[in-house]
Structure 1
Amino acid sequence: MDAVVKSLLERTQTQDKNPVKRPTREEAEAAVEVLLRWAGDNPAREGLRDTPKRVVKAYEEFFAGYKEDASDVLARMFEEVHGYDDMVLIRDIPFSSHCEHHMVPFFGHAHIAYYPGEDGVVGLSKLARLVDIYAKRLQTQEALTAQIIGAIDIFMKPRGCAVMLEAEHMCMSIRGVQKQGAKTTTTQFTGIFRDDPAEQIRFLTLVRGK
């Protein structure tokens, strides 16, 4: 496995095994009230009265990935593929995540391809769920890319894997330089894809639909 991929995945697995102590719901709601006052508004007014509860509930959805484990999602493999040993590609998997630097959203599409190993293939929906497990955490796009491919490498043991993420970052489009529409692309390859540039070209061609 690529050293960068391994390092990032190990960091994630360490976080999963040693989760931080969560504050109570009441403490989280109180923190939102503080931010509302810091922004210059009154948490007691009608429109904001239930905002702390809504924000905390929304955070449970935004960061649900901390409660899930990639090994559970990829645990079941299917060996009966009637001799199929070519590329499996799922493209345009939508995802949304939050930048760990500013805690604002970034969103886009993931494209995943792999060559089945001896253990066979995994259900197609499982790879979409895998993307969500890591996306629904505080992230950088680079780390998210490495974590997805690292989990596939470890738990599926394919002959090769390719991952591409294309995303727009709100920390760049609504603050700072404010460049709306700019997209970031990250790629990572292992096995056959890393060793053979022709396979990378094939993957990119199929992703672009040409």
Structure 2
Amino acid sequence: MNDVYLSLGSNIGNRELFLHEAIEALGNDANILIDKTAGFYETSPVGNVEQRPFVNTAVKIATTYTPQQLIRFIHEIEQGLHRTRTIHWGPRTIDIDIVFFGDQQINTKELTVPHPEAFNRLFVLVPILEIIDKGFPSYQKIESTISALKDKDQTIQKLTSNENYKGTLQASVRQLLTTVGENPDRPGLVETPDRVARMYGEIFSSIGIEDFDDYKLFDAPVSQSSKMVMVKDIPFYSMCEHHMMPFWGKVSVGYIPDHGKIIGLSKIPRLVDFVSHKLSLQEKVTNDIITQMNKILQPKGVAVLIDARHMCVEMRGVKKTGSVTRTTSFSGIFQTDEQLQSEFMSSI
């Protein structure tokens, strides 16, 4: 078994939740034993990309993996947590780096250990110092480097136990209940902050994730006269970004395949769930479905229609119960072929 120190960071969506899920994935592997986990630190980002602060931590593991096997497994975890690598030093749902692999010196195309940036980053060294053994060869260097870097333009602040994702939500809900005149400690409300925190983790699960990746493509005969593929009346639920109140309804999606590729029909409802599980607007949900379909399939055209009811219309303001808002959007051939538009609309 080799002692390995990992650095983890996240600055998209539920940052602490992504870190917890990454640590859980590491611990669930039969070849890895988690020895110690550092606290969570909110840190300033590096590079010239304008972005949200990171939450960073470090983990000490014992593993039977070789360094190459471990880095491949880490990339699988990152991919499973929607990590994208489009921008260097850019925002990410999760970033896991091997900082030290025992006392090994590794310099390959795939991996460099110790990590080449380790001694330039407080967000790497401070969490590692919390868990590293004093007898580790680089311990003194880590201590002295931290002292030197604290004079640089890097900010790092340890999060307290109630500043994690779930704890922060619970505290915020308690404050909200108190502000509107309720008693958060009365029997009916004691468990409400926890329920709301868990609910938000579910209904806002797509916040910060740019691309839908839970799909599979299939080959289809290539034809110049491909027929429309359509899935109608897909139920959806989302939250309005103006009042944080629900809007819900049904989505119909049609597309004309191209390049001999079609998407599994069950994946289109999942795509609808993906784009709607965040604060949004009906118009944006409509356009986001088209954007994702075009990224995935590059079809000849996509058509989307949404009929939805809005609680911000029915429960407050004008209070028009039962009113329905319709939005439509077309791309590709649907924009120019009126007969195709008519076929899509008449099918609904």
1:119 CA displacement: 4.1
1:101 aligns to 2:242 (yes or no):
yes
2: CA distance, partners of 1:118 / 1:59? 39
1:137 aligns to 2:210 (yes or no):
no
Structure 2 SS opposite 1:70: coil
Structure 2 equivalent of residue 89 of structure 1: 230
How many pairs were matched up? 192
1:66 CA displacement: 2.5
Structure 2 equivalent of residue 147 of structure 1: 288
- Alpha-carbon deviations, 1:30-62, whole Å to 9, x = none? 000000011111001111111100111111111
| 1:41 partner letter | E
- Alpha-carbon deviations, 1:48-107, whole Å to 9, x = none? 111100111111111122275534124x31113586820001000000000000001000
1:18 aligns to 2:102 (yes or no):
no
2: CA distance, partners of 1:110 / 1:32? 32
Structure 2 SS opposite 1:114: strand
State the structure with more CA Rg: 2
1:43 aligns to 2:184 (yes or no):
yes
Q: TM-score, normalised by structure 2?
A: 0.52
1:196 aligns to 2:337 (yes or no):
yes
User: Conserved in 2, the CA contact under 8 Å of 1:62 and 1:97?
Assistant: yes
Structure 1 equivalent of residue 168 of structure 2: 27
Structure 1 equivalent of residue 313 of structure 2: 172
Structure 1 equivalent of residue 218 of structure 2: 78
User: Conserved in 2, the CA contact under 8 Å of 1:159 and 1:191?
Assistant: yes
Structure 1 equivalent of residue 128 of structure 2: none
1:123 aligns to 2:264 (yes or no):
yes
1: CA distance, partners of 2:91 / 2:312? 29
2: CA distance, partners of 1:128 / 1:201? 23
Structure 2 SS opposite 1:103: coil
| 2:301 partner letter | G
Identical aligned pairs, as a percentage? 39
1: CA distance, partners of 2:294 / 2:338? 19
- Alpha-carbon deviations, 1:158-187, whole Å to 9, x = none? 011100111000000000000001111001
Which consecutive unaligned segments of at least 5 residues does structure 2 have?
1-83, 94-162
User: Conserved in 2, the CA contact under 8 Å of 1:68 and 1:133?
Assistant: no
| 2:250 partner letter | H
Classify 1:143/1:82 alpha carbon distance in 2 versus 1 (closer, same or farther; 3 Å). Answer: closer
Which consecutive unaligned segments of at least 5 residues does structure 1 have?
1-12
Structure 1 SS opposite 2:319: coil
1:24 CA displacement: 2.7
The structure carrying a bigger helix percent of its residues is 1
User: Conserved in 1, the CA contact under 8 Å of 2:238 and 2:247?
Assistant: yes
User: Conserved in 1, the CA contact under 8 Å of 2:222 and 2:260?
Assistant: no
Structure 1 equivalent of residue 300 of structure 2: 159
Q: TM-score, normalised by structure 1?
A: 0.84
2: CA distance, partners of 1:201 / 1:119? 24
| 1:164 partner letter | L
Runs of 4+ in 1 over 4 A off after TM superposition: 81-84
1: CA distance, partners of 2:332 / 2:220? 23
2: CA distance, partners of 1:64 / 1:190? 27
Structure 1 SS opposite 2:188: helix
Structure 2 SS opposite 1:124: coil
| 2:315 partner letter | I
1: CA distance, partners of 2:92 / 2:195? 24
